[in-house]
Amino acid sequence: MEFLKNAAWRYATKKFDRNRKITQQNLEFIKKSIQLAPSSYGLQFYKVLIIEDQKLKEQLMPHSWNQEQIIDCSHLFVFCNYQSVTDQLVDDYIERKSIIQETAFESIEGYGAFIKSKIAEKSTEETTTWLKNQTYLALGMLLSICADLKIDSCPMEGFEPDAYNRILNLEKKNLNACVIATTGYRDITDNTQHENKVRKSVELLFDII
C-alpha cells in the first residue's frame, strides 16, 4: 500500500528547487536499483549517464526544448541505447554470467549462440526499436525508486538526441541518447504538484480475459 501512496505522490515535476541536491547515499541507492532493472535476456544493452555538472547541463538545455528542469534539477539521467549489437557484446554477457553464476563458459556458450541468432533475425529497424525499448525499462525503475525515496523526477522525450550525442560524444561509444529524466526536489512554486492526477479508471484501463 505504501508503494501506491508513493506512486500517487509522484508527478512529472516542472520546476525543481536548484538548491536541494540528492545525497550521495540516495544516488547510490538509485544506481543500484537501476542496475537491477529487467532487460531482454538480461543483456542490459544500454548505458546510463548521470549528469551533475552544472555547466554541462546548461550546455544541454538549449537542446532540451529550453526546459528549465534541465538546469534546475539535482541530477540529469540520460539513458543511452547501443546503436548496434556485436557478437562481442553477447560474448561479454555470457562471460559475466559464467563468472557470477559460477558456471563453465562452455556449458552456456550455446545460450549465447541462441541470443545471437534471435537478434540476427531482426531487421535493422526492429533491432533499433528493441534496443531503445530496453532503456524505458530502466527509466521505469528510476521513476519508481525516486518515488519510494520521495525524490522528484520528470521523464522527458523533449530533447534533441543528435545534439546530446554530439555534446556527450556518444556516437564514438556506440551509444545513442534515447530518453532522459530530471531528478531532485520540487520547488514550492511548482503549481503542477497541486493538480489532481489524471488517469483512466481501473475499469476502463483493464480487461480480464
Note the pLDDT of residue 22. 98
* pLDDT above 90: percentage of residues in the chain: 100
Q: Give 77's contacts (C-beta < 8 A, 6+ positions apart).
A: 48, 49, 50, 51, 139, 142, 180, 181, 182, 183
Check if the beta carbon of residue 93 is closer than 8 Å to that of residue 82.
Answer: no
Compute the average pLDDT of residues 56-83. Answer: 98
pLDDT in tens, 4-19: 999 999 999 999 999 9
Q: Give 208's contacts (C-beta < 8 A, 6+ positions apart).
A: none
* pLDDT above 70: percentage of residues in the chain: 100
Residue 123: pLDDT band (50, 70, 90) is very high
Note the pLDDT of residue 192. 96
What cell was used for 3? 508503494
Note the pLDDT of residue 97. 97
Compute the average pLDDT of residues 53-60. Answer: 98
Q: Is residue 1 pLDDT above 90, yes or no? A: no
pLDDT in tens, 132-169: 999 999 999 999 999 999 999 999 999 999 999 999 99
Domains in the chain with CATH codes: 2-85+132-188 (3.40.109.10)
